[in-house]
Amino acid sequence: MIDRTHELPLTQQCRILRLARSSMYYTPREVSAHDLALMRRMDELHLEHPFAGARMLRDLLRAEGHAIGRKHVGTLMRRMGIEALYRKPNTSRRRRGDEIYPYLLRDLKIERPNQAWAADITYIPMRKGFVYLFAIIDWSSRRVLAWRLSNTLTTDFCLDAVREALHRYGRPEIFNTDQGCQFTSTDFTDLLKDNGIQISMDGKGCWRDNVFVERLWKSVKYEEVYLKAYDSVAEAKAHLGAYLRFYNERRPHRAHDGRTPDQAYFGALRDETPLAA
């Protein structure tokens, strides 16, 4: 997909393909077919039981006939970028320089496009590997504004998507994420601050604080990802792109009385635009 002999610069090729620049330099470590199968099943179990930690996932997998230990489950969870989601004491030490911001959306009435955006990263299984999907949604309309795929959990592919969303749709008043290191990094928070955006972060382990993104992941996985086995990153990108277009343009939402996210987003923007005299 990336052609190092092409006259187009590699960074431009990555931008066109919506791939993180780190993909050019990353040498993947091979994961066994057995572990890939376990990771896919763990992803399904995590969606069904987001509060399940390594011990519970181990027990659930053992009940299905998988011989696996807690430490191996924990290793796979870290590789997938998932953790048990429940309220717990904040005893972990963050990296120096990380700043955690308060959650700003509680009891706030979100009633117009671009009032609040939310973003997150999720694990996407493939036939012989996996990638990570980052997406930004408009909280009011549920419209997916921008997304990126990467084979590493770095910050750069998230920044690329945020820049695209800002370029295409302007800036939101509030941008909400979880407390993942990609989002607490100074590169990420400085981009939001430089654009005059208020930063909001979920409470530690409070997945309901970003519930609409979690619902998006469930739709993406049960309506697209789990029905297929992508053979390559290019195939994953093509199929996910097609699904997200369907999600925006054609998939009706009960919260919008059957309207699509596109209709909810652009319709509200038209209603806000004053008529010319």
Kindly give, in sequence order, each residue whose CB lies less than 8 Å from that of residue 161, ignoring residues fewer than 6 positions away.
119, 134, 135, 136, 146, 147, 148
Alpha carbons 146 and 138: distance in angstroms, whole number: 10
The pLDDT averaged over each successive group of 10 residues in the chain (277 residues) is: 66 69 58 89 89 90 92 91 65 56 91 94 92 96 96 93 97 94 94 97 70 91 93 95 97 90 88 54
Specify the pLDDT at position 98: 72
Residue 49 confidence (pLDDT): 86
What does CATH list as the number for 116-272?
3.30.420.10
CA distances from 245 to 171, 229, 252 (A): 21, 20, 12
Query: Looking at residue 90, what is its pLDDT?
Result: 42
Q: Which residues contact 151 (CB under 8 A, 6 or more apart)?
A: 23, 26, 28, 129, 130, 131, 132, 233
- Model pLDDT, residue 47: 87
Q: Within 13 A of 10's CA, how many CA atoms are on the CB side? A: 10
pLDDT of residue 22: 62
Give 91: exposed, middle or buried? Use CB within 10 Å, 0-12, 13-18, 19+: exposed
Q: What is the pLDDT of residue 107?
A: 87
- Helix or strand run (H / E) with residue 84: none
Q: Domain locations in the chain?
A: 10-80, 116-272
Is the full-model pTM beyond 0.75?
yes
Phi, psi of 201 (to 5 degrees): -135, 140
pLDDT in tens, 138-194: 999 999 999 999 998 889 999 999 999 999 999 999 999 998 889 999 999 999 999
